[in-house]
Chains A and B, each alone.
Chain A
Amino acid sequence: MQFQLDSNSSVVNMSGEFTFTDHAQFKSLVTRLFEANGTAVVIDLSKLEFIDSAGLGMLLLARDEAKKANRSLVLRGPSGQVKRMFGVTKFDALFDVQE
């Protein structure tokens, strides 16, 4: 998985495949995201091609971190397999999922 964080640490673009092997990288990313001040954090998934169950678990942990920091977490532009996984797991009921 590759990611790019914008200058004010409020939008991150993820691409490639998001799996268990990305856990250390993603944890430090989440730490950085919620250290900064702001209201919402947007994770842009439009370039993400695949997510496994560990990836879904990490997003749920990121959601917990957002709650602790009183910030909202937006998942934007899921497509393909990622969108189908979100549909099956009813992620739209847990996150603010934007097309």
Chain B
Amino acid sequence: MLGLKKRLSGALQAEVVSTASPSMQPHDDVPDPQTELLQRWMSLADMQQRVIQALVGEISSTSGFVETEAEALSGRFQRLVLSADQQTARVESLTSLAIGIEVDGEMVPIDRIAGLLESTLSDVVEKILLLSKDSMSMVYALDELNANVGRVDKCMEQLGGINRTTNMLALNARIEAERAGGAGAAFRVVAQEVRELSKVTQDVAVSMQAELKTVTEGIANGHTTLQRVATIDMSDNMLAKDKLEVLLAALILRSESLTRIVADAVREAEIISADVGGMVTGIQFQDRTRQRLEHVVDTLEVIDQAIDELKQSSIAAVPELAAHMAPDLEWVKHLLERFTMSEMRSRFVAQLLEGKQTGELPDDKSETRGPSESGAVELF
């Protein structure tokens, strides 16, 4: 850069020396064509310096703006990564919920629960069936016992009849013994014994009748109780197993569907996490952008400095060049008309025409009005 500057400076000085005399001498405040041409060069150089300074300002501001926005964006993406990771973890926890139920710290799969329930219900149904069979067997047995007791009761009635007959026989024998007088004494004793035997038999028969009555009542009560048990219809309870099996099959199907959906969701969540992570890495571009723009700014500043030095050297060699020359407003206007952002145009106007240093970029970054809408252009 320094070599280029020296070459430019040397060439210009040589040109000035070779063309300055005599034409560089002023005639009545009217510069000669060569001096005027050089003055225009000086004016253009001056404007170029201002443009360079304005560009340096714009680039620096834009670089700062990009860096700030990129950092904010990076922060938001990092929060998004965190949320995506948490979301993935939540979805993964749903997987275990879909697979089964935690019991005493152990995860029991839905299909195992269904199997356990099915086995338990089958056992219950089997027991109901056994209970029904045994109940009916007891009902049959009690029916049989009841019939036996009825037959015993009939036997007791027959026994009572026999006893009554025996008693009548004993009474008749006693009457006949009395008629026989002394000859019937022994017969009288036998008749008395038979009568007492009949009385004892009658007492036993009455006692047995009472016992039999108690047994009959017991059988009747047992039959009633058993009937109550046996008539409890368990068919609905048995068929509940059928319904539960259908429900469990549906539950297993739903669990499988849920597991598939959750697995898909986990995959998607992981993809999102990976994408967002990649975006966080990608957003780090602002570092390299800033470095590149710093190089550009540095280069522009070196050029600005070289132009400045060349201007000073030219003025030292040709003092007439120091005379003020108005900027080429038409050229500046053409330049600024190319800008679509009015606020940028304003800053260039301030920098190029008024030599003011511009501040930071405004917040409204999206303003892109056409040249005709710009207040700055209206200044021309």
Query: Across the interface, do B239 and A54 meet the contact criterion of CB distance under 8 Å?
Result: no
* Closest CB in chain B relative to A99 CB, distance in Å: 19
* Contact for B235 among A27, A51, A60, CB less than 8 A: A51
> Could you tell me the distance between the alpha carbons of A31 and B234 in the complex, rounded to whole angstroms?
26
Residues of A contacting B234 in the complex (Cβ-Cβ under 8 angstroms): 52-53
Residue of B nearest to A21 (CB): B231
Assess whether A46 is interfacial by the CB under 8 Å rule: no
Interface string of B110-140 (1 = CB under 8 A from A): 0000000000001001101101111111011
Report 5 cross-chain contacts, Cβ distance below 8 Å, ordered by A residue.
A53-B128, A56-B133, A61-B137, A88-B125, A88-B238
Interface residue total, chain B, C-beta cutoff 8 A: 26
Interface positions of A from 24 to 64, Cβ below 8 Å from B: 24, 27, 51-54, 56-58, 60-61
Quick one: closest A residue to B143, CB to CB?
Answer: A24
When A19-B233, A57-B133, A61-B133 are in contact, do A27 and B143 touch as well, CB less than 8 Å? yes
Measured CB to CB, the nearest residue on chain B to A58 is B136
Q: Digitize A73-86: 1 where CB-to-B-CB distance is under 8 Å, 0 elsewhere.
A: 00000000100110
| Complex contact A52–B140 (CB within 8 A) | no
Is A23 on the interface with B (CB-CB < 8 A)?
yes
A95 cross-chain contacts in B, Cβ below 8 A: none
| B5 within 8 Å of A (CB atoms) | no
Q: How far is the CA of A61 from the CA of B136 in the complex (A)?
A: 8
A31 → B minimal CB distance (Å): 11
Q: Hey, which chain A residues are within 8 Å of B140, CB to CB? A: 23, 27, 61
CA distance A79 to B196 in the complex (A): 70
B residues near A84, Cβ cutoff 8 Å:
239, 242
Chain B residues at the A interface, C-beta cutoff of 8 Å: 122, 125-126, 128-129, 131-137, 139-140, 143, 227, 230-235, 238-239, 241-242
CB distance from B241 to the nearest CB of A (A): 5
A52 to B236, CA, bound (A): 9
A4 on the B face (CB < 8 A): no
Tell whether A89 is near chain B: CB-to-CB under 8 Å: yes
Shortest CB distance B120–A (Å):
14
Kindly list chain B residues whose C-beta atoms are within 8 Å of the C-beta of A23. Answer: 136, 139-140, 143, 230
Query: Which chain B positions have C-beta within 8 A of A57?
Result: 129, 131-137, 230
A52 touches B235 (CB 8 A): yes
Contacts of B227 in A (CB 8 A): 20
Q: Which residues of A contact B238 (CB under 8 A)?
A: 53, 85, 88-89
Chain A residues contacting B143 (CB-CB under 8 Å) are 23-24, 27
Known: A89-B125, A89-B238. A52 touches B233 (CB 8 A): yes
Hey, which chain A residues are within 8 Å of B132, CB to CB?
Answer: 53-54, 56-57, 60
- Chain A: which residue is nearest B135 at the CB level? A57
Distance between Cα atoms of A52 and B234 in the complex (Å):
7
A27-B143, A54-B230, A60-B129 known; A81-B235 Cβ under 8 A: yes
Q: Contacts A24-B143, A54-B132 given; indicate if A88 touches B230 (C-beta within 8 A).
A: no
